[in-house]
Chain A
Amino acid sequence: MSQTVGEVITSPPPPARDERVARRSPFARLLTRPEVGALLGAIIIYLIFFSVAPAFRPAESLSSVLYQSSTYGIPAVAVALLMIGGEFDLSAGVAVTSSALVASMFSYQFTTNMWVGVLVALVVALAIGFANGYLVVKTGIPSFLVTLGTFFMLRGLNLALTKQITGNVATNDVSDMQGFDSAKKIFASSFSIGGVSIRVTLIWWIIFVAIATWVLLRTHLGNWIFATGGSAPSSRAVGVPVNRVKIGLFMLVGFMCWFTGMHLLFNFNTVQSGIGIGNEFIYIVAAVVGGCLLTGGYGSVIGAAIGAFIFGMANLGIVYAGWNPDWFYFFLGVLLLGAILLNNYVRKRAEAMR
């Protein structure tokens, strides 16, 4: 017995917690999140504009920046999820315009209630997303190429059909149509809090980001999205319906593009058929700046929202600072590259900390 006791004494008591896990401060834990780089970048850019541009400081300006950000941020929510799922959608920018054109022209030509046009546009937008996803999944062709094809097709259709139907490059004003006012309330109204006017798209944006983040981190669907982007063959082998996840994500992009398109329509009453080209890159850049891995399997919707906010700040900040707007895209490039480098640096440090 004494021997046993001796042994017990010489062997150290089992530690209450695993001694191999170094105590990590909440700060170090925070640094391992994918969106941290973007957050730091956003703070730095905000401080720069805050110090150099007095016009940037009032709450009203921040509201404008947030509005601008939300119009890019809403599609970026879906584009980020799609990127985490391992795919791209280059047709997202023009799909926004397509949705707006369909809703506007359908209601106007058939003199229906605006809501009929809105629903038809939703069906069309989801169909475009489904077509993209189906082609990618069934052919195995990279989504970069498939959606580049859809991008050009939609770009052509937008212009050609609009000219054919209205005889003009823009749609007719629909502001006096039935159902316009109620639709405008949903998609393009504004209200004020403490004297600062807030656009409704900002609220929608926050709701979409919250739902998407919850789905991504707390539901099995989110698990499947991460897995599909991280390794599609492995996911398939354990029973994840990879194809349905991908098609669903493309359709979600369609949905968000439709929503943004409805905002355009009910905000401006008419739609220019040529707009939206190039916006797809802004959505993708917002997602990448926000910490989404270009190769899929890693990223965050909150990060993409911060990415869109950085873009909105740069876009309006230059105007508020009174800089020559010709330089806008140059500054934008610098800001984005800087944000990505910072992001990269933070992620590497965070991984080394593990």
Chain B
Amino acid sequence: MTTTTAQSTEERTTAPLVRLTDAGKHYGNIIALQGVSLEVGGGEVTCVLGDNGAGKSTLIKIIAGLHQHTEGRYEVEGKPVHFNSPREALDRGIATVYQDLAVVPLMPVWRNFFLGNEVRKGVGPVSVMDVGFMKRTTKKELSDMGIDLRDVDQPIGTLSGGERQCVAIARAVYYGAKVLILDEPTAALGVKQSGVVLKYILQAKERGLGVIFITHNPHHAYPVGDEFLLLKRGRSLGYYAKGEISRDELTALMAGGAELEELHHELQAGGGVAAAAAHVLEEEVKELGITATGGQP
């Protein structure tokens, strides 16, 4: 099955936008991440899946330039890099949309949209922001993404979670990001709003961007992803192309058969409602094809 990945690598004439090879990160004597490899090319969505504490945050911080890797290689378009700040990563076209979205709630939408990249007219010390252009552009870019904002002058804190997420994605796309890192964009959203965000991920992919989509929800990852990296306790649990793995297998790997089994027993011991829940869980485990001996299908 590894041939699929090998083939796709051969087919690419240029180096992938982002490639990590055996990358790792130590904080003193604590190993946060070890031996992780990943590749993203243009028009590809690579999903990074893992439970809390799996090392997802450390991984994206390395790619985004907030932290430096202490082991392995990190290449952007074939050239090895060591970013000292997110600014440097941004300059190479790697934009990150964080869980907290890196927006300032009290500031108007348009000021947030252009924060750190203000459009100026005039020269030197008397350059002013082109407020009119910035407001128009914000409105247009957002409506291109299908977000119809009432008023770009309203504080961004007054928008809904999904809307804010989309503003952050639209912002990264507008600044010519080649690679978009999305940190748990659907974690705090309802079903419908998650769907909206997934749609934007596909839209970014169609525009030829590489997307690194961090999530702990295989149901969100599978429909949009081309490749799946599974992390657990700072190590890679597997790296699959879409053809190599089914959604159920992905879910099973994510959930970890043994853990589900344990939960099943705990619930059963509780009796009453808990036992009923245990029954449902048992059905689901069967459906996913997880055996009691371990998380293999």
Confirm or deny: B102 has a beta carbon within 8 angstroms of a beta carbon on chain A: yes
Q: Are B158 and A297 in contact (CB under 8 A)?
A: no
Confirm or deny: B90 has a beta carbon within 8 angstroms of a beta carbon on chain A: yes
Q: Which residues of chain B from 138 to 177 have any CB-CB distance to chain A below 8 Å in the complex?
A: 150-151, 154, 158
Q: Which of A20, A234, A298, A354 contacts B158 (CB 8 A)?
A: A354
Closest residue of chain B to A227 (Cβ to Cβ) is B104
Chain A interface: which of B19-27, B70-78, B106-114, B236-244? B106-114
Contact with A along B102-125 (1 / 0, CB 8 A): 111111000100111110100000
| Minimum CB–CB distance for A185 against chain B, Å | 26
Q: Are B86 and A237 in contact (CB under 8 A)?
A: yes
Q: Are B114 and A223 in contact (CB under 8 A)?
A: yes
**Distance in angstroms between the alpha carbons of A293 and B66 in the assembled complex:** 30
Question: With A239-B87, A297-B104 given, is the CB distance from A21 to B128 under 8 Å?
Answer: no
Question: With A237-B98, A238-B102 given, is the CB distance from A21 to B151 under 8 Å?
Answer: yes
Question: With A227-B104, A297-B107 given, is the CB distance from A239 to B114 under 8 Å?
Answer: no
Q: Which residues of chain A from 229 to 258 have any CB-CB distance to chain B below 8 Å in the complex?
A: 230-231, 233-240
Closest residue of chain A to B85 (Cβ to Cβ) is A239
CB contacts (< 8 Å) of B117 on chain A: these are: 238-239
Contact with A along B84-107 (1 / 0, CB 8 A): 001100100000101011111111
Contact with B along A207-230 (1 / 0, CB 8 A): 000000010001110011011001
**Distance in angstroms between the alpha carbons of A310 and B282 in the assembled complex:** 71
Confirm or deny: A18 has a beta carbon within 8 angstroms of a beta carbon on chain B: yes
| Interface magnitude class on chain A | 20 to 34
Confirm or deny: B14 has a beta carbon within 8 angstroms of a beta carbon on chain A: no
Confirm or deny: B127 has a beta carbon within 8 angstroms of a beta carbon on chain A: yes
CB contacts (< 8 Å) of B280 on chain A: these are: none
**Distance in angstroms between the alpha carbons of A28 and B149 in the assembled complex:** 21
* Chain B interface, >50% SS class: loop
Question: With A219-B127, A239-B116, A240-B115 given, is the CB distance from A230 to B102 under 8 Å?
Answer: no
Closest residue of chain A to B122 (Cβ to Cβ) is A219
Closest residue of chain B to A226 (Cβ to Cβ) is B107
Q: Are B106 and A298 in contact (CB under 8 A)?
A: yes
CB contacts (< 8 Å) of A220 on chain B: these are: 118, 120, 127, 129
Q: Which residues of chain A from 173 to 224 have any CB-CB distance to chain B below 8 Å in the complex?
A: 214, 218-220, 223-224
Question: With A227-B115, A239-B87, A240-B115 given, is the CB distance from A218 to B104 under 8 Å?
Answer: no
Confirm or deny: B277 has a beta carbon within 8 angstroms of a beta carbon on chain A: no
**Distance in angstroms between the alpha carbons of A226 and B103 in the assembled complex:** 12
**Distance in angstroms between the alpha carbons of A235 and B104 in the assembled complex:** 7
Q: Are A235 and B150 in contact (CB under 8 A)?
A: no
CB contacts (< 8 Å) of A219 on chain B: these are: 120, 127-129
Q: Are B96 and A237 in contact (CB under 8 A)?
A: yes
Question: With A234-B100, A239-B87 given, is the CB distance from A223 to B115 under 8 Å?
Answer: yes
| Minimum CB–CB distance for A84 against chain B, Å | 10
| Minimum CB–CB distance for A50 against chain B, Å | 36
Closest residue of chain B to A298 (Cβ to Cβ) is B106
Confirm or deny: B131 has a beta carbon within 8 angstroms of a beta carbon on chain A: yes
Q: Are A238 and B116 in contact (CB under 8 A)?
A: yes
Q: Are A235 and B128 in contact (CB under 8 A)?
A: no
**Distance in angstroms between the alpha carbons of A226 and B108 in the assembled complex:** 11
Q: Are B120 and A234 in contact (CB under 8 A)?
A: no
Closest residue of chain B to A295 (Cβ to Cβ) is B106
**Distance in angstroms between the alpha carbons of A349 and B10 in the assembled complex:** 63
Contact with B along A39-59 (1 / 0, CB 8 A): 000000000000000000000
Contact with B along A319-346 (1 / 0, CB 8 A): 0000000000000000000000000000
Question: With A239-B87, A240-B115 given, is the CB distance from A234 to B102 under 8 Å?
Answer: yes
CB contacts (< 8 Å) of A237 on chain B: these are: 66, 86, 96, 98, 102
Q: Are B129 and A223 in contact (CB under 8 A)?
A: yes
CB contacts (< 8 Å) of B106 on chain A: these are: 226, 230, 293, 297-298
Q: Are A239 and B120 in contact (CB under 8 A)?
A: no
Q: Which of A20, A235, A297 contacts B116 (CB 8 A)?
A: A235
**Distance in angstroms between the alpha carbons of A230 and B103 in the assembled complex:** 9
Q: Are A234 and B101 in contact (CB under 8 A)?
A: yes
**Distance in angstroms between the alpha carbons of A234 and B101 in the assembled complex:** 7
**Distance in angstroms between the alpha carbons of A20 and B149 in the assembled complex:** 10
Q: Are A227 and B107 in contact (CB under 8 A)?
A: yes
Q: Are B118 and A18 in contact (CB under 8 A)?
A: no
Q: Which of B66, B86, B102, B111 contacts A223 (CB 8 A)?
A: B111
CB contacts (< 8 Å) of A218 on chain B: these are: 128-129, 131
Q: Are A226 and B104 in contact (CB under 8 A)?
A: yes
**Distance in angstroms between the alpha carbons of A354 and B154 in the assembled complex:** 8
**Distance in angstroms between the alpha carbons of A233 and B116 in the assembled complex:** 13
Closest residue of chain B to A220 (Cβ to Cβ) is B118
**Distance in angstroms between the alpha carbons of A234 and B115 in the assembled complex:** 10
Question: With A220-B118, A223-B115, A234-B104 given, is the CB distance from A239 to B86 under 8 Å?
Answer: yes
Q: Which 8 A-B pairs have the closest CB atoms?
A: A220-B118, A230-B104, A238-B116, A239-B116, A237-B102, A234-B102, A239-B87, A231-B104
10 contacts between A and B (CB under 8 A): A18-B150, A218-B128, A223-B129, A224-B115, A226-B106, A227-B104, A227-B115, A238-B86, A293-B106, A298-B106
Extra 20 A-B pairs, beta carbons < 8 Å, given A230-B104, A237-B66: A18-B150, A18-B151, A21-B150, A21-B151, A219-B129, A220-B118, A223-B107, A223-B114, A224-B115, A226-B106, A227-B104, A230-B105, A230-B106, A234-B100, A234-B103, A235-B116, A239-B86, A239-B116, A240-B116, A354-B154
